[in-house]
């Protein structure tokens, strides 16, 4: 939890992330870092820290989401292979042996 007198609040960070994701999609962390560098060059340390924290949090969220998506895709693939293997086994079991 960020204390308000030491830097941006979690609500401010989340608002920046929502804005960046709505405007830039999956490129939001890169855009946050670009804006962070712009604020650094201007000497605006509070805004620099806000966008740096937003970039870090957004990148972590996207990494987690991509991992979950790849896990779900792998689970679907395994389930599909399992169903096709069961289907071929059950079709051969239903045929009479000669």
Neighbours of 66 (CB within 10 A): 11
> Does any domain span residue 97?
no
| Region for 51 from its dihedrals, namely left if φ exceeds 0, alpha if ψ lies in -120 to 50, beta otherwise | alpha
pTM score of the predicted model: 0.64
Reply yes or no on whether the pLDDT at 11 is more than 90: yes
pLDDT at position 84 is 57
> Does any domain span residue 46?
yes
pLDDT at position 83 is 64
The total number of structural domains in the chain stands at: 1
> Does any domain span residue 5?
no
For 36-94, what is each residue's pLDDT tens digit?
999 999 998 888 999 999 999 998 888 888 887 777 777 777 877 766 555 555 445 55
Q: Which residue range is the domain that position 51 belongs to?
A: 10-92
> Does any domain span residue 36?
yes
Which carries the bigger pLDDT value, residue 54 or residue 6? 54
> Does any domain span residue 67?
yes
> Does any domain span residue 98?
no
């Amino acid at each position: 939890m960020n204390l308000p007198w030491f830097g941006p609040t979690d609500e401010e960070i989340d608002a920046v992330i929502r804005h960046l994701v709505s405007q830039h999609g999956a490129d939001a962390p890169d855009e946050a870092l670009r804006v962070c560098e712009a604020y650094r060059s201007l000497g605006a340390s509070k805004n620099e820290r806000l966008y740096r924290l937003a970039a870090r949090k957004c990148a972590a969220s996207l990494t987690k989401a991509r991992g979950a998506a790849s896990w779900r895709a792998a689970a679907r693939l395994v389930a599909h292979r399992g169903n096709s293997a069961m289907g071929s086994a059950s079709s051969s079991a239903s045929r009479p042996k000669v």
